[in-house]
Chains A and B, each alone.
Chain A
Amino acid sequence: MSGSAKAPRDPTSTPQGEPPPGLTRRGFLGKGAAVVAGAAAVAAAVSPLRRLAPGDVPSIEKLLQKHYKEMTPAERQAALDCIARAVEARYRLRPNVQDPPPLDGVEFVYALNISRCIGCRKCVYACVKENNQSRSPQIQYIRVLKMDKGSIDVETSDHHYYPPVVPEHENYYMPVQCHQCKKPPCVKVCPVEATWQEPDGITVIDYDWCIGCRYCEAACPYWARRFNFAEPSLPADEVNPDMSYLSNRPRTKGVMEKCTFCLHRTRRGQLPACVEVCPTGSRKFGNVLDPESDVSYILRQKRVFILKEDVGTLPRFFYYFDERGSRYHEPMAPAEQGGEK
């Protein structure tokens, strides 16, 4: 069988003249074609590199940048300038990149009135807009859970609800975001110390130091950390130019990000974006070390509870509720079922 296959090949592969051994015209052309085709295959394999933007290759300056906490003020300013240049090259706008320090005598605390929240998700999108999160794939720091009344079981909650109008009468809503814990498990597990707790209580990330191992995402009991699985896409006309190093500067693929209580706003005295937008005023924010602040009053006077208090992370995020339900127009329980709820 092989003999019959070999027989016709012999006369064709042997030219008429005396060929140099190993090199024939036909063999040369064949091998040449193989080399050309191989080169074409390699070129085709690496062809996705054509889509590489100039900003995708990190500069030497970026590679040599130190950890945020080890930078001198000059190096920190250089890092801010580097961010500003990158943003300008990519989005064609001049950002205001700053690094506001934590304020003395300030510890931020968040309170959320779950008897007033109607689950409209405006906070989610105000946060996305303020903090320059990726739109595709979507990244959202706030997750609004639709809960069954009479239960606080988050495992039966639902964040996909989309009725024509909210609130739905048989449910209440519990938004969850970073709780800025006093004993943050996400900080404990970070192998490279890319995340830490600031003196004002905000846990931050140095996006340039993060290696993207996602240990912190696994450690967080509130599911509050988000990972950039793909290159974040952000329309240039929606970039918030008011940026800071530790909060809302644009992130890259492969790093974690999280809610920072909008520290570029709150460290200048402003309220976070989610508080500003909440139509019902369910969201409260302030300095817990100030006894006159709204949150101090709430923690002293209202019925406050902590989500997953038993995990012992000591969150700075508190849920509270009013003496009566917020929605009086709903059917209320008849008198024989007990008094006020």
Chain B
Amino acid sequence: MTELPGKPTLNPLIIAAVFAALAVLLAAGPWRYQKPYNELVRPPAWATDISPVRRPILRPEIRIAGFTYRCSECHSLFPSPPETVRTLTQHTDVVLKHGINTRCFNCHNLTNRDTFVDDWGREIPYDQPQLVCAKCHGPVYRDWLHGSHGRVNGYWDATRGPAQRRKCVECHDPHQPPFPPMRPAPPPQTLRMGDQSFSPEHQGVTDPLRVYRHALPEGDKAGGLKPEPEMQDTAEEGWP
């Protein structure tokens, strides 16, 4: 390569071509800006609904074919035998799975069906179901009275507004008391803790801030506790 004599010149057309190509590239280049994060996620309406899981009517009423009856309207005509353990012909929607509490009249009042019954046979009003539950579930009732168990809505400061202390049957079905399982709201897609597979440039990169359960040795789970016999089907084979 021999040097050109005089000052080296560059054809301005080449510069123009380079700039024009740059302009085209910048304006409509093949690389598009890709958001490294999720699209808009609206909070699901059911997940922000604050109503309790059950809406029991706290009155001794039943609706049949559009008509509302008081319990006593039928039960004064058709008396039930005490100690009933039989397939119900009425109230077939009731599924009784309350542990060893298998008798209707442990809670319902045999003589006045518009009330419940306490341990001494006295009446408990229908709108005070927590007194029925308290017959057996003493510690939970104690905790409920003090606000440790159960749901509260409204105000923490009683001087500014009412606190609505939810009753037992607003969360628990008295005939089937375990809290019903529910579907969870979607998992996070936040930048540091979300699923990062939606963006191509993140694929194949393991974020050290995410802990992958399957990447852990089996012995690290549960602090080395031995699995209980009932759970052995779910436990992996790597236990010591």
Interface residues of A (CB under 8 A from B): 1-3, 6, 27, 30-31, 33-34, 36-38, 40-41, 43-45, 47, 113, 116, 118-122, 124-126, 128-129, 135-140, 143, 148-153, 155-167, 169-170, 226, 229-230, 233, 235, 238, 266, 268-271, 275-281, 284-287, 293-294, 297-298, 301-302, 320, 322-323, 326-329, 331, 333-334, 337
CB atoms of B20 and A37 under 8 A apart: yes
CB atoms of B186 and A162 under 8 A apart: yes
Residues in B whose Cβ lies below 8 Å from that of A279: 52-53, 151, 171, 182
Interface residues of B (CB under 8 A from A): 1-2, 4, 11-13, 15-20, 22-27, 35, 37-44, 47-50, 52-53, 99, 139-140, 143, 146-157, 159-161, 166, 171, 178-179, 181-191, 193-195, 210-211, 213, 216, 220-223, 225, 228-231, 234
Q: In the complex, what residue of chain B is closest to A106 when comparing beta carbons?
A: B157
CB atoms of B12 and A33 under 8 A apart: yes
Contacting residue for B221 out of A45, A151, A152, CB 8 A: A151
Residues in B whose Cβ lies below 8 Å from that of A331: 228, 230-231
User: Whole-angstrom distance between the alpha carbons of A129 and B179 in the complex?
Assistant: 26
Q: List 20 A-B contacts (CB under 8 A).
A: A34-B12, A44-B22, A45-B26, A121-B186, A121-B187, A124-B188, A125-B44, A135-B40, A136-B35, A136-B38, A136-B40, A162-B186, A235-B40, A269-B161, A270-B155, A275-B152, A297-B146, A302-B148, A322-B140, A322-B143
Contacting residue for B12 out of A27, A150, A293, A334, CB 8 A: A27
Residues in B whose Cβ lies below 8 Å from that of A166: 181-184
Given A34-B12, A322-B143, A328-B99, verify A268-B195 contact (CB < 8 Å). no
User: Whole-angstrom distance between the alpha carbons of A33 and B17 in the complex?
Assistant: 8
CB atoms of A281 and B23 under 8 A apart: no
User: Whole-angstrom distance between the alpha carbons of A116 and B127 in the complex?
Assistant: 25
CB atoms of B179 and A118 under 8 A apart: yes
CB atoms of A151 and B231 under 8 A apart: no
User: Whole-angstrom distance between the alpha carbons of A139 and B49 in the complex?
Assistant: 20
CB atoms of B221 and A136 under 8 A apart: no
Residues in B whose Cβ lies below 8 Å from that of A266: 156
CB atoms of A164 and B183 under 8 A apart: yes
Residues in B whose Cβ lies below 8 Å from that of A38: 15, 19
User: Whole-angstrom distance between the alpha carbons of A150 and B239 in the complex?
Assistant: 15
Residues in B whose Cβ lies below 8 Å from that of A226: 190
Contacting residue for A301 out of B1, B23, B146, CB 8 A: B146
- Find the residue from A6, A143, A329 having the highest chain B CB count within 10 A: A329
Across chains A and B, which 6 residue pairs bring their CB atoms closest together, nearest first? A294-B147, A269-B160, A37-B19, A30-B12, A281-B151, A269-B157
CB atoms of B40 and A37 under 8 A apart: no
Given A135-B42, A279-B171, A297-B148, verify A156-B185 contact (CB < 8 Å). no
User: Whole-angstrom distance between the alpha carbons of A126 and B234 in the complex?
Assistant: 33
Residues in B whose Cβ lies below 8 Å from that of A33: 12-13, 16
CB atoms of B160 and A44 under 8 A apart: no
Residues in A whose Cβ lies below 8 Å from that of B155: 269-271
CB atoms of B12 and A40 under 8 A apart: no
A162 to nearest B CB, angstroms? 5
